Amino acid sequence: MYDVKAVRRDFPIFDNGLAYLDSANTSQRPRQVTGAMMEYFEKFNSNIHRAAYHIAEEATDRYEATREKIRAFINAASTKEIIYTRGTTEAINLVAYSWGRANVKPGDLIVLTILDHHSNIVPWQILATANGANIEYVDIDDRGELRQDQFRELLEKQPKLVSFSHVSNALGTINPVHEMVAAAKAAGATVLVDGAQGAPHQRVDVRDLGCDFYAFSGHKMLGPTGAGILYGRRELLEAMDPFLAGGDMIKTVRVEGTTYHDLPWKFEAGTQAIAEVIGLGAAVDYLDGLGMDNVLAHEREVTDYAYETLSDIEGLTLFGPPPSRRAGVISFALDGIHPHDLATIADRDQVCLRAGHHCAMPLMTRLGVPATARASFYVYTLKDEVDRLAGSIKEAQRIFK
């Protein structure tokens, strides 16, 4: 059985009674992750790929070991398809710049969705402006799920690129990724999946999904900030020019010109976030130890409980689909109380609650609200913390009456 109390003992931040309900923003880190990073700093702190002495070789080995762990974690065909980035945002920008500028032409169509995070909207808007392309968005229905009828209509226009989230960070909506990728590929599109809220919470098999690119962040899956992943099909990555230029992404540099390094290092210019990548590897080890099926089952149990508990509060509006079709995210609004005020009151009770537009302003406009409050759950969340949130909500209602 999944023992959430035993899991929490690996996270020192919970020693003082904190109820952390903002894991969709950034997750907490267990001792195993911070310990792996500290071991690097204290025992083999050095640069990678650049020296022949022992500690540099150890650092390089640990750094590259994470790449194999990620490859297995998402079932990529090769470590050459695993590119280190600073996170999902940089990974999507890399594709927009390196693939997009070479392949998206004037008049081409880019299909996005109204559920998307700004990181999966703004890079494509910049590309569309630069290359003369057009963008159209798939809307949602009243349950907060993508309108598949509209998606199919847009595919009939033969878009050059289709990009959408695996899971909505703002509503928790789990999109039908397999079906959408298959339909987009059949229409001739290149497909990128924003997996920032997907990879940390459920098994991901990029070969089974069939997508061309899949991006996610380490800091949302128990790892440190500053380390993320872009998966890309090898043949696409081989054809793409580098995103950044400088040290370590070259084979040779002469005054006449430069030849680039092989994959994956062609896209990893400069000194990398070595400790953070090693920490990400430890986070993958930790999640593998828990078992991603157990992670998903625990989150569903907590989400079901939270949905039921919050639904019983008078004056509270829940956004998004029912628990069976959402991940561990609950967004809501309280009559007469701004989400920022609620978050401030919750903080007095040591309940960490997100309030704002969640980097999804087009979605907030679609919902007709300026912001929502958002509770999000992960491997360490207790049902008792949901009860504490409910208590904070009722206290806010008492104060504002």
Tokens matching residue 151: 């998606």
Cα–Cα distance measured from residue 345 to residue 269, given in angstroms and rounded to the nearest whole number: 45
Can you point out the beta strands (E) in 99-255?
109-113, 134-138, 161-165, 190-194, 213-217, 228-232, 250-254
Q: Could you tell me where the DSSP H helices lie in 75-143? A: 88-94, 101-103, 122-131
Find tokens 């007095």 and name the residue.
348
Residue 261 clears pLDDT 90, i.e. is over it: no
Peptide bond into 264 cis (omega under 30): yes
Check 359, 369, 382, 390 and give the catalytic one: 359
Question: What is the model's pLDDT at position 183?
Answer: 98
Question: What is the model's pLDDT at position 251?
Answer: 84
Question: What is the model's pLDDT at position 266?
Answer: 95
Tokens matching residue 76: 């990529």
* Fold adopted by 33-289: Aspartate Aminotransferase; domain 2 (3.40.640)
Residue 387 clears pLDDT 90, i.e. is over it: yes
Give residue limits of the domains in the chain: 4-23+291-396, 33-289
Residue type, 246: G
Q: Is 211 among the residues known to form the active site?
A: no
Question: What is the model's pLDDT at position 248?
Answer: 82
Question: What is the model's pLDDT at position 1?
Answer: 83
Judge whether 394 and 65 are in contact, CB under 8 Å: no
Q: Could you tell me which of 198, 184, 192 has the C-alpha nearest to residue 153?
A: 184
Confidence of residue 157 (pLDDT cuts 50, 70, 90): very high
Per-residue pLDDT, averaged over 316-336, amounts to 96
- What is the largest distance, in Å, between two alpha-carbon atoms of the chain? 74
For the 4-23+291-396 domain, the top CATH level (class) is: alpha beta
pLDDT digits (tens, 9 = 90+) for 231-258: 999 999 999 999 988 888 888 889 998 8
Classify residue 315 by burial, with Cβ atoms within 10 Å: 0-12, 13-18, 19+.
Answer: exposed
Find tokens 């920490």 and name the residue.
279
Question: What is the model's pLDDT at position 246?
Answer: 87
For residue 185, give Cα distances in angstroms to 2, 150, 181, 295. Answer: 38, 16, 6, 30
Q: Could you tell me which of 94, 129, 91, 93 has the C-alpha nearest to residue 110?
A: 129
Per-residue pLDDT, averaged over 106-130, amounts to 98
**Run of H or E including 257:** strand 257-260
Q: What angle do CA 297, 298, 304 make, to 5 degrees?
A: 90
